[in-house]
Amino acid sequence: MKITHGTVVSFHYTLTDDSGEVLDSSQGHEAFTYLQGGQMIVPGLEAQMDGKAKGDKFKAVVTPDQGYGEFNKELLQRVPLDRFGGQQVEVGMQFQAGEHGVVTVEEVTGTDVLVNGNHQLAGVTLHFEVEVTEVRQATAEEVSHGHVHGPGGHHH
């Protein structure tokens, strides 16, 4: 069976950046399972999965515009340190920032904090090595819910 809109797909992957540094991998874990067309993986990878079948192994290069977006300098913001309620703030910490999502602390000075609202992989070209391990037709319930049920998926 080929991967098409409305199929459930399981795959193993290794994700690297342009320099070959491993950013993420499913090796040693269960295969990642998703609903094709459900916008559960980055658009560039989902597009390159289309038409593949169980057993296919391939490399996919995903540019930032089809991955986690371009790096947006407007999402860098200086916030007064006193806005953090006196807690210890350190580089690398992450905070929920209302409707803006998660921000990451990039720099802390005596009076303010530089936070970054970009996804950590914004601006990064993604290099995937993929092995498709399973493809099946999604159930009507999975399609209506927009996600996979059962092994590797959502449990109600």
Q: Which pair of structure tokens corresponds to residue 144?
A: 């209506």
Q: What is the model's pLDDT at position 155?
A: 47
| Co-location of 59 and 131 in the same domain | yes
Provide the domain count of the chain.
2
Provide the residue range defining the domain that includes 56. Answer: 7-68+121-145
| Co-location of 64 and 13 in the same domain | yes
Residue with tokens 């005596």: 110
What is the Cα–Cα distance from 97 to 125, expressed in whole angstroms? 26
* Residue 155 belongs to a domain: no
pLDDT tens digits, one per residue of 51-72:
999 999 999 999 999 999 999 9
Question: Cβ(41)–Cβ(3) under 8 Å?
Answer: no
Q: Is the pLDDT of residue 7 over 60?
A: yes
CB neighbourhood size of 62 (10 A): 23
| Co-location of 100 and 52 in the same domain | no
Question: Cβ(152)–Cβ(31) under 8 Å?
Answer: yes
Q: What is the model's pLDDT at position 4?
A: 96
CATH number of the structural domain spanning residue 103: 2.40.10.330
What is the Cα–Cα distance from 86 to 65, expressed in whole angstroms? 38
